[in-house]
Chain A
Amino acid sequence: MPEQEHNISDTKQLWDAALADIERAVSRANFTTWFKNTSIVKEADGVVYLGVPNGFVKEWLQNKYHKFILKSLRMISENIRGIDYIVISKTEQQKPGFAESAPQLYGELPLKDLYINKDDNLNPRYTFDTFVVGPFNELAYTATQAIMKSVGSVYNPLFVYGGTGLGKTHLLQATGNKIKEMYGDKKVFYITSEKFYLDLITSVQANKINVFKEKYRKYDVFIMDDIQFLSGKQGTQDELFHLFNTLYDNNKQIIFSSDKHYNFIGNLEERLKSRFGAGMIVDISDPDFESRVAILKTKSRHINFSPSDEIIEYIASNIKGSIRELEGLLNALVCQAQLKNRDLALLEVKTLLKNNEKPRKTLSVEDIVHVVSEFYNIEKSTIYEKTRKKEIVKPRQIIMYILREDLSISFPTIGQRLGGRDHTTVIHSCDKIKNDLKKDTVLVDELERIRSLFAQQQ
């Protein structure tokens, strides 16, 4: 039987009509005590899910008024067959516009309002209110909006990928929070692949693999962040595969994020890749200048900090890439401004920016030869020799490519340092690797891992 979803205004009308009927039949006092703050959360398959403020009301409506409510509802809509009662916390509606007590006499304990809900791992801080939409993430944003309108039926699974610090987690968590808010009864669950993996290991150790399997299958919206960490974890991938199938077959919404396209995640099973490919794949790229300005403005408003437009534009034009970096810099500015107790001048911002720059890489040619030859398990000296064995040539070309791309060393120098080769040889090597990278995903993966080895060395 198809799920019969009504939109919010439909159910509200239905309940209002039923309430009007009920109000006539019960006393005023009874009505305000038992029926105030009730609402229809949703209606599906002829069952009305009624939200009530607490367990006492639930108990009483169930015992005393159940038949009566059912009758009233059926008079309006004949295909209603049952009622289920759900307790809904009213903390949301209970936040009045209380002015904070004016002069704060007491220092407050620095309790942060940073709560992570244990049931679904979502951090309520991530909302769409603070999410800046620009050309760089528009597609991803639109996809999540579409998902919210019809959970589980469009863009399933959604696969979001993009570099670090571009707001993937924010988008995913905000989507989860919004779905929770809109539907109330939909069980949302957010987890990072790392946690999933650790959970699997603990479950296996404790011989509770069945509990593990069951646990994740009950969710309506399953969000997994940073799945690139599943690379090489065969067992976890298997579990995810089965979980995916179960959820997918039951029309549950699945959302993944990763820092790269799934084709470039090494050691990922083909069957998982093909599952990812079945849905919608969107990328989040680096934000453009205008978006960076917008982001900075939103963030500064959020932390009650108002730098001049000049400063914002300067930061936006000088820091490219990660949003997290922008945020970090903004925090540094706030800190400085508080310390000096005045607004910062552009010049000060400039010096601050310089200090915050990442230290330049100091890698020598020898370092790179060492790492690459170790990676491919060959003798270091062979790189410098004039051999054309295939297993030597490829690493040598990769070394040249890295020297050129990452360290911007001139072609003649590279040739000279690698055993006195001609600069044309070097140019050819770099071009070859560049072209290979476009089609050879294994090579992409290898290069990625080599580069991460450099990062570790520093």
Chain B
Amino acid sequence: MKISVSKNKLQYAVSRAERMTGKNLSLPILSTILLLASDDVLKVRSTNLDIGIEFEVPVKMKKEGIIAVPGNLLNNLLSYINEDDIVLEEEKGNLSVKTRKNNSLIKGFPYEDFPTLPVVSAEKTSPFPVQTLLNGLKSVWYSASTSDIKPEISSVFISLNPEYSTFVATDSFRLSEKKIQSQGNKEDLSILVPLRNVAEIIRVFEDKNGDVMIRSDKNQISFHYDGVYLTSRLIDGVFPDYKQIIPKTSTTDAVVLKQDLVNALKVSHLFADKFNQVVLTIDPSAKQFTIASKNADIGEHSVSLDAALSGEPVTLRFNQRYLADCLQSVASDSVSLQCNGEARPVVVRNVGDRSFTALVMPLNT
């Protein structure tokens, strides 16, 4: 193999691929990145057997070839090089990386052991707007469970139908749902994408526009975008029937400015105890909406906000982070909170539409 390639384009691909190499696995080849040069294209491939990716980087080719090199070494090396032209050349199973000033040799691995990426068997592919996908994932993914005990909730549930694209995540203490009107999806699809892979999908497609081609079967999903092929394992399970727990009525309603609430939560976080506990008091008859927190070692704080209130008075205790997390997905300037008394979840929505819904369970008193 002998190619010359733009450093920025190579680094773009390698830095993203490096994240998907297998860490602490018994099989060393998985910690490598496979470089495959043919037809004026360099394929940069990596996988940890849970998610896999292949980038195509345009290169000037002198000789075809394949080589596997340690991902983090190559990535680190590239981040220190600040010249634009790089020449990659295979020398007896090792990779020489040359620029005008730098000259390095990286020990290669036997590339025959590098696994192929699974191909999704479904014959149907469908285009899907990348930004809708990212918007949906980013609106909910923080709610997913980070523990591996229940794989079906340590993932984001994606359901596509001709009317809506719905994204849902929950860790059973809070839940977020984002509904986006479809612009002519043709497919019907319900899948569970593992949380860890959601993070990578977001990272890879963040700077993209247009449509990504999605193909999925029961166990595997793949995303195909100009020069990028990403494939992820899916969770074979059933997402809890969450719709039935979204309260249909409420006993206390409040509408506050989102930024006010975000700031109030940030301040009260300074004084919160180790459980991040904040106390929300709503008293419509006294026109009161206060957030208070207290820590025996630090001190205490309370702040009241201007709010439009109705219903019964209520006092609820929350994990500050759970409330603050979901506010980042509220699109409107004001946010609506609907409570149903203690021990029932509070519903957080945009004012005026139902495209985003978050449920947060209060702390037990």
A residues whose Cβ falls under 8 Å from a Cβ of B: 28-30, 32-33, 54-60, 63-64, 87, 89, 91, 94-96, 98, 104-118
Q: Are A95 and B174 in touch, CB under 8 angstroms?
A: no
Given known A32-B26, A106-B361, A109-B170, contact A57–B241 (CB-CB < 8 A): no
Given known A109-B173, A109-B174, contact A33–B27 (CB-CB < 8 A): yes
Binary interface encoding of chain B residues 153-176 relative to chain A, with 1 for a CB under 8 A from any of its CBs, else 0:
000000000000000001011110
Pick from B26, B345, B359: contact of A33, CB under 8 Å: B26
B296: interface (CB < 8 Å): no
B299: interface (CB < 8 Å): no
Complex-state Cα separation, A58 to B173, whole angstroms: 36
Smallest CB-CB separation from B49: which chain A residue? A56
Q: Are B237 and A56 in touch, CB under 8 angstroms?
A: no
Chain A residues with CB below 8 A from B298, complex form: none
Q: Are B362 and A111 in touch, CB under 8 angstroms?
A: no
Chain A residues with CB below 8 A from B174, complex form: 109
B192-239 interface (Cβ within 8 A of A) = 218-220, 231, 233, 235-238
Complex-state Cα separation, A109 to B116, whole angstroms: 41
Pick from A29, A110, A112: contact of B27, CB under 8 Å: A29
Given known A29-B26, A89-B237, A94-B151, contact A111–B219 (CB-CB < 8 A): no
Complex-state Cα separation, A29 to B30, whole angstroms: 11
Task: Given A29-B28, A89-B235, A110-B245, output 11 extra A-B contacts at Cβ < 8 Å.
Answer: A29-B26, A54-B49, A54-B219, A55-B231, A59-B118, A60-B116, A64-B116, A91-B237, A107-B362, A109-B172, A111-B245
Chain A residues with CB below 8 A from B172, complex form: 108-109, 111
Q: Are A56 and B115 in touch, CB under 8 angstroms?
A: yes
Chain A residues with CB below 8 A from B117, complex form: 56, 59
Chain B residues with CB below 8 A from A115, complex form: 237-238, 240-241
Chain B residues with CB below 8 A from A114, complex form: 241
B12: interface (CB < 8 Å): no
Q: Are B364 and A107 in touch, CB under 8 angstroms?
A: yes
Q: Are A111 and B25 in touch, CB under 8 angstroms?
A: no
Complex-state Cα separation, A56 to B119, whole angstroms: 9
B336: interface (CB < 8 Å): no
Q: Are B219 and A87 in touch, CB under 8 angstroms?
A: yes
Distance of B223 from chain A, by nearest CB (Å): 14
Smallest CB-CB separation from B171: which chain A residue? A109
B108: interface (CB < 8 Å): no
Complex-state Cα separation, A364 to B354, whole angstroms: 54
Smallest CB-CB separation from A28: which chain B residue? B26
Smallest CB-CB separation from A107: which chain B residue? B361
Smallest CB-CB separation from B153: which chain A residue? A111
Taking chain A's interface residues, is the majority helix, strand, or loop, or is none over half, making it mixed? loop
Distance of B168 from chain A, by nearest CB (Å): 11
Complex-state Cα separation, A115 to B190, whole angstroms: 14
Complex-state Cα separation, A307 to B22, whole angstroms: 54
Chain A residues with CB below 8 A from B236, complex form: 87, 89, 91
Complex-state Cα separation, A304 to B120, whole angstroms: 45
Chain A residues with CB below 8 A from B190, complex form: 118
Of the listed residues B49, B175, B190, B359, the one surrounded by the most CB atoms of chain A closer than 10 A to its CB is B49
Q: Are A55 and B364 in touch, CB under 8 angstroms?
A: no
Given known A91-B152, A111-B245, contact A105–B364 (CB-CB < 8 A): yes
Q: Are B149 and A33 in touch, CB under 8 angstroms?
A: no
Complex-state Cα separation, A29 to B268, whole angstroms: 51
Pick from A56, A109, A112, A113: contact of B233, CB under 8 Å: A56
6 nearest A-B residue pairs (beta carbon): A89-B236, A55-B118, A59-B118, A115-B238, A55-B220, A111-B240
Distance of B301 from chain A, by nearest CB (Å): 22
Complex-state Cα separation, A193 to B331, whole angstroms: 46
B residues whose Cβ falls under 8 Å from a Cβ of A: 25-28, 30, 47, 49-50, 52, 113, 115-120, 148-149, 151-152, 170, 172-175, 190, 218-220, 231, 233, 235-238, 240-242, 244-245, 275, 319, 343, 345, 359, 361-364
Distance of A189 from chain B, by nearest CB (Å): 16
Q: Are B361 and A58 in touch, CB under 8 angstroms?
A: no
Complex-state Cα separation, A342 to B244, whole angstroms: 31
Distance of B155 from chain A, by nearest CB (Å): 11
Given known A54-B219, A58-B118, contact A98–B149 (CB-CB < 8 A): yes
Complex-state Cα separation, A60 to B26, whole angstroms: 16
Pick from B26, B52, B240: contact of A56, CB under 8 Å: B52
Complex-state Cα separation, A111 to B362, whole angstroms: 15
Distance of A377 from chain B, by nearest CB (Å): 46
Distance of B215 from chain A, by nearest CB (Å): 12
Complex-state Cα separation, A96 to B150, whole angstroms: 10
- Pairs A–B under 8 Å by Cβ, sample size 7: A56-B117, A89-B219, A89-B236, A95-B149, A104-B364, A105-B275, A109-B245
Distance of A363 from chain B, by nearest CB (Å): 38
Chain B residues with CB below 8 A from A109, complex form: 170, 172-175, 245, 345, 359, 361
Smallest CB-CB separation from A98: which chain B residue? B149
Complex-state Cα separation, A60 to B29, whole angstroms: 13
Q: Are B27 and A91 in touch, CB under 8 angstroms?
A: no
Smallest CB-CB separation from B233: which chain A residue? A54
Complex-state Cα separation, A115 to B233, whole angstroms: 21
Chain A residues with CB below 8 A from B52, complex form: 56
Chain A residues with CB below 8 A from B242, complex form: 111
Q: Are B238 and A118 in touch, CB under 8 angstroms?
A: yes
Complex-state Cα separation, A91 to B154, whole angstroms: 12
Complex-state Cα separation, A55 to B235, whole angstroms: 11
Of the listed residues A64, A105, A106, the one surrounded by the most CB atoms of chain B closer than 10 A to its CB is A106
Chain A residues with CB below 8 A from B219, complex form: 54-55, 87, 89
Smallest CB-CB separation from B152: which chain A residue? A91
Smallest CB-CB separation from B119: which chain A residue? A59
Q: Are B173 and A108 in touch, CB under 8 angstroms?
A: yes
Of the listed residues A60, A109, A115, the one surrounded by the most CB atoms of chain B closer than 10 A to its CB is A109
Complex-state Cα separation, A55 to B215, whole angstroms: 14
Given known A57-B49, A96-B149, contact A106–B319 (CB-CB < 8 A): yes
Complex-state Cα separation, A108 to B240, whole angstroms: 13
Chain A residues with CB below 8 A from B238, complex form: 115-118
Chain A residues with CB below 8 A from B241, complex form: 111-112, 114-115
Distance of A120 from chain B, by nearest CB (Å): 11
Smallest CB-CB separation from A86: which chain B residue? B219
Smallest CB-CB separation from B151: which chain A residue? A91
Given known A54-B219, A58-B118, A105-B275, contact A111–B26 (CB-CB < 8 A): no
Q: Are B118 and A108 in touch, CB under 8 angstroms?
A: no
Pick from B50, B116, B231: contact of A63, CB under 8 Å: B116
Pick from A91, A104, A107, A112: contact of B240, CB under 8 Å: A112
Smallest CB-CB separation from B175: which chain A residue? A109
Complex-state Cα separation, A30 to B28, whole angstroms: 9
Chain A residues with CB below 8 A from B116, complex form: 59-60, 63-64
Complex-state Cα separation, A118 to B190, whole angstroms: 10
Distance of B102 from chain A, by nearest CB (Å): 32
Complex-state Cα separation, A57 to B174, whole angstroms: 34
Q: Are A30 and B27 in touch, CB under 8 angstroms?
A: yes
Distance of B57 from chain A, by nearest CB (Å): 23
Smallest CB-CB separation from B173: which chain A residue? A106
Chain A residues with CB below 8 A from B170, complex form: 109, 111
Given known A30-B113, A33-B49, contact A106–B345 (CB-CB < 8 A): no
Chain A residues with CB below 8 A from B175, complex form: 109
Complex-state Cα separation, A57 to B190, whole angstroms: 23
Smallest CB-CB separation from B25: which chain A residue? A33
